[in-house]
Amino acid sequence: MAELASLKLENKPWPGGTHSLHYHYLALSEPGPSLPEFLAVGYVDDQPFIRYDSRTGRAELRAAWMAPVDTQYWETETQKQKAWEKVQQVEMWTVMGYHNQSSGTHTAQRMFGCEVQEDGSSSSFWQFGFDGQDHLSLDVETLSWVSAEPVAVRTKRWWETERCYAEYDKAYLEGLCLTSLHRYLELGSQSLTRKEPPMVHITKHMTQDGTTLRCWALGFYPQDISLNWWLDGEELTLETEHVETRPSGDGTYQTWVAVQVPAGKEAWYSCHVRHPGLNHTLTVAWESPSNSGLIAMAISTVLITIMLIAVTVIWSKRCLQAWNKKSYVQTPVLHRHSQQPSSLHLRKSWTTPQTPHRSERWQDRMEATPPREDVMYLCQKVFVRSSYIVVRGRGGHRSKFISPVALRGAAILSREES
């Protein structure tokens, strides 16, 4: 704390709103590759700002506003958390013995901190847990430990033999904790005292019990917020379901409140939201989806269909033009009685004739009948299935041709049949 006090801060008064400083410690009896033996995280207003991991053995910053703090602060925090690591391990194995456990995976948690309310009053807490269950808590007024389960009585007697434990904890919570919180708020004032209003919307859910309206508040900071459902000018308290305000993971918070409503009466209910980031009470009512979305979807479908038709026509024309520009060379006709196949084959020629004039032989070439596969080769890559026709070929074979070239292909096949 001396390192914090040495910083040249402005000694501003307490900022408005509720602010807190909490520490969470966790010890594991059997750590794994991704689980440390001891982990400590410090939070200001539920925003992590410091972290200690036994695998690295160093205290590290978790908030950009802690960057101005010098290396001595981090060295002091590292040594302090290493001491707490040893204490937490001893306490965990001792409580494991109280439960007749000498092996297996077990955890010991310690949470403590202080909080300042908007009216300037303060409160604090100090709790110890085992395997995710409450074990002991400190009563600051009486300096006594309160057991939460029968086995915890043995831990209570152990800790009460050293009254200095409770005295030290109370002195920290009511003194150094509040002072540290004030200094941290000064250090991170731009981030910790900012105000971001909530984004509010209502969703409708159909359940077995009827219709439920849920009022969502998202992306707000600080976490203090009030959400209530109203009906006919009266606030609904018993009929509503609340959830705790939760971190969103991006430095903001989220929450919701729900109410069951009769079917068809959704518009009668309204959600009232109050937050420091709002200049007034925000009132939001349920609005049924309009038909504009369906209309927009129908228009989009029509436009896409028109575009597909246009593309099909354009590529059909290009395919026809490409066909007209190609020349074909007829291979020699083999003698019927030769041992070679007797079918007629046509070979594609992608070059223009050498003679500039149209001789009779050239005209014969142009009128030569191309095979069916050549028609398919030119067009099969650019058209959709819906734009072909089926014609019957030689030997009852059915061939698919893409229009408009399919029309020409059908004529070609009819000549071949004849």
Last residue of a domain, one of 177, 192, 207: 192
Say what the pLDDT of residue 407 is.
41
Highest mean pLDDT among 127-131, 283-287, 288-292, 307-311: 127-131
Highest mean pLDDT among 94-98, 362-366, 388-392: 94-98
Cα three-residue angle 56-58-60, rounded to 5 degrees: 110
Sign of CA dihedral 406, 408, 414, 416: negative
Say what the pLDDT of residue 363 is.
44
Query: For 17-26, 223-232, 233-242, 286-295, which range has the lowest pLDDT when averaged over its residues?
Result: 286-295
Question: Does the residue 238 lie in any domain?
Answer: yes
Question: Does the residue 291 lie in any domain?
Answer: no
Bigger pLDDT: 189 vs 146:
146
Q: What is the pLDDT of residues 156-168, one digit of tens each?
A: 999 998 889 899 9
Cα–Cα distance, 382 to 371 (Å, whole number): 20
What percentage of the chain carries pLDDT values higher than 70? 69
- CATH number reported for the structural domain that contains residue 261 in this entry: 2.60.40.10
Question: Does the residue 293 lie in any domain?
Answer: no
Please say whether the beta carbons of 4 and 180 come within 8 A. yes
Say what the pLDDT of residue 385 is.
38
- E strands, 275-338, where? 282-285, 327-330
Rg (the chain; Cα; Å): 40
Whether pLDDT at 144 is above 80: yes
**What does the chain come to in residues?**
418
Question: Does the residue 265 lie in any domain?
Answer: yes
pTM here is 0.61
Please say whether the beta carbons of 213 and 259 come within 8 A. yes
Token representation of residue 371? 């095979």
Are both 184 and 203 inside the same structural domain?
Answer: no
Are both 223 and 239 inside the same structural domain?
Answer: yes
Highest mean pLDDT among 184-188, 234-238, 339-343, 390-394: 184-188
pLDDT band at 297 (very low <50, low <70, confident <90, very high): low
pLDDT band at 322 (very low <50, low <70, confident <90, very high): low
Say what the pLDDT of residue 53 is.
96
Last residue of a domain, one of 148, 164, 192: 192
pLDDT band at 290 (very low <50, low <70, confident <90, very high): low
On the CB side of 240, how many CA atoms lie within 13 Å of its CA? 21
Are both 124 and 217 inside the same structural domain?
Answer: no
Are both 408 and 319 inside the same structural domain?
Answer: yes
Question: Does the residue 303 lie in any domain?
Answer: no
Are both 349 and 407 inside the same structural domain?
Answer: yes
Highest mean pLDDT among 192-201, 298-307, 346-355, 360-369: 192-201
Question: Does the residue 111 lie in any domain?
Answer: yes
Say what the pLDDT of residue 173 is.
96
Whether pLDDT at 50 is above 80: yes
Are both 386 and 409 inside the same structural domain?
Answer: yes
Side chain identity at residue 280, one-letter code? H
Query: For 25-39, 108-122, 183-197, 369-383, which range has the lowest pLDDT when averaged over its residues?
Result: 369-383
Whether pLDDT at 94 is above 50: yes
Q: Residue 402: enclosing H or E segment and its boundaries?
A: strand 398-402
Q: Beta strand 327-330 with 269-274: parallel, antiparallel or unpaired?
A: unpaired
Say what the pLDDT of residue 61 is.
94
Across the chain, mean pLDDT equals: 78
Average pLDDT over residues 375-381: 42
pLDDT band at 308 (very low <50, low <70, confident <90, very high): confident
Say what the pLDDT of residue 336 is.
43
3-state secondary structure of 134: strand
Say what the pLDDT of residue 412 is.
42
Are both 6 and 115 inside the same structural domain?
Answer: yes
Are both 280 and 150 inside the same structural domain?
Answer: no
Are both 365 and 252 inside the same structural domain?
Answer: no
Average pLDDT over residues 162-180: 93
Are both 66 and 175 inside the same structural domain?
Answer: yes
Say what the pLDDT of residue 200 is.
96
- CATH number reported for the structural domain that contains residue 63 in this entry: 3.30.500.10
Please say whether the beta carbons of 114 and 181 come within 8 A. yes
pLDDT band at 323 (very low <50, low <70, confident <90, very high): low
Are both 86 and 155 inside the same structural domain?
Answer: yes
Whether pLDDT at 280 is above 90: yes
Give the range of the structural domain holding residue 253, as residue numbers without chain letter.
199-285
Question: Does the residue 72 lie in any domain?
Answer: yes
Say what the pLDDT of residue 135 is.
96
Average pLDDT over residues 335-359: 42
Are both 144 and 246 inside the same structural domain?
Answer: no
Question: Does the residue 46 lie in any domain?
Answer: yes
Number of domains in the chain: 3
